[in-house]
């Protein structure tokens, strides 16, 4: 990660580079490769699998692990019941999948495995990944909305009690705000993760450069930046959880629009 640039700076964007791990196969101009992004997605999958496996033993008296798993599933169940109502049950698998994948991908990206020479890679810091998840959410909203309400789905864009002359204007405004949803959903997660990781790397580079500049500079610069880095790391863990929750919550609210047509 400490890639030397001109002037001895440390490049904080290097951590987001996608590199093929075992070479790539290029059929017809494209490129298929097992990249570091793929590797960390596999890690997230394995971690989720192990986590869920520990909670699926169906014991009569749940142990600690089972309580942890049940509190997560119960949390998502409750989220959907409160925001969508009794019909929300059908969407629990989707929302739960997206929540737990984002949560594990975010947290694994913060894993301190750099000490062992592995470079942690945050899967959700690429708009390609978050964009695909946002498009799936948006697609569910469109399919469910048109399936259940047919052409009446368009009444979503005209709030109740709108005076007639205002209808065309409001229709356009609501339509634009509806169409922007997948972008804002994808952008929020991707930028929150990117910005947080860049911040951590910038403080880390302050620490290293301060230490290199001698003992008094080390005390003056390195110590405060190390303390600040500790604090920012704790904040990052909080942000990981909040962003996963916000993605799940907003997906649930958008699906609520499609199901209940406010």
Partner 1 sequence: MEVEAARLIGAGLAAIGAGAAAIGVGYIWGSFLQGALRNPEAANGEQARLYIGFAVTELLGLIAAVIGFILLFG
Rule CB under 8 A: which residues touch partner 1?
13, 79, 82-83, 184, 187-188, 191-192, 194-195, 242, 245-246, 249-250, 253
β-bridge mates for residue 35, sequence order: 20
Least distance in Å: CB of 47 to partner 1? Answer: 25
For partner 1, which is the closer residue by CB, 28 or 238?
238
Least distance in Å: CB of 187 to partner 1? Answer: 7
Least distance in Å: CB of 29 to partner 1? Answer: 26
Q: At what angle do helices 64-83 and 36-55 cross, to 10 degrees?
A: 100
Listed residue (127, 71, 125) closest to 100, CA to CA = 71
For partner 1, which is the closer residue by CB, 154 or 174?
174
Q: Is 68 helix (H, G, I), strand (E, B) or coil?
A: helix
Taking CA atoms, 197 is separated from 106, 110, 139, in Å, by 11, 8, 30
For partner 1, which is the closer residue by CB, 47 or 127?
127
> 3-state DSSP helix/strand/coil percent for the chain, to nearest 5?
80, 5, 15
Least distance in Å: CB of 246 to partner 1? Answer: 4
Backbone angles phi, psi at 24, to 5 degrees: -130, 155
For partner 1, which is the closer residue by CB, 26 or 78?
78
């Amino acid at each position: 990660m400490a890639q030397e640039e001109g002037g001895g700076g440390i490049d904080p964007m290097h951590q987001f580079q996608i590199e093929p791990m075992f070479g790539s196969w290029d059929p017809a101009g494209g490129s298929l490769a097992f990249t570091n992004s793929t590797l960390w997605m596999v890690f997230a999958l394995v971690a989720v699998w192990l986590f869920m496996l520990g909670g699926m033993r169906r014991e009569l008296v749940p142990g600690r692990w089972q309580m942890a798993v049940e509190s997560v599933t119960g949390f998502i169940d409750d989220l959907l019941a409160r925001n969508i109502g009794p019909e929300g049950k059908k969407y629990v698998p989707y929302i739960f999948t997206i929540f737990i994948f984002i949560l594990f991908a975010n947290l694994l990206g913060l894993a301190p495995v750099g000490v062992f020479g592995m470079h942690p890679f945050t899967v959700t810091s690429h708009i390609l990944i978050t964009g695909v998840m946002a498009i799936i959410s948006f697609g569910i909203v469109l399919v469910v909305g048109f399936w259940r309400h047919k052409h009446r789905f368009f009444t979503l864009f005209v709030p109740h009690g709108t005076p007639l002359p205002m209808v065309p204007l409001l229709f356009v405004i609501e339509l634009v705000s509806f169409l922007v949803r997948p972008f804002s959903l994808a952008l929020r997660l991707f930028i929150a993760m990117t910005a947080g990781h860049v911040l951590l790397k910038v403080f880390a580079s302050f620490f290293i450069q301060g230490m290199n500049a001698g003992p008094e500079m080390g005390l003056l610069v390195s110590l405060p930046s190390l303390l600040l880095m500790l604090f920012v790391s704790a904040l990052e863990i909080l942000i990981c959880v909040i962003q996963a929750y916000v993605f799940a919550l907003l997906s649930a609210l958008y699906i609520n629009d499609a199901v209940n047509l406010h």
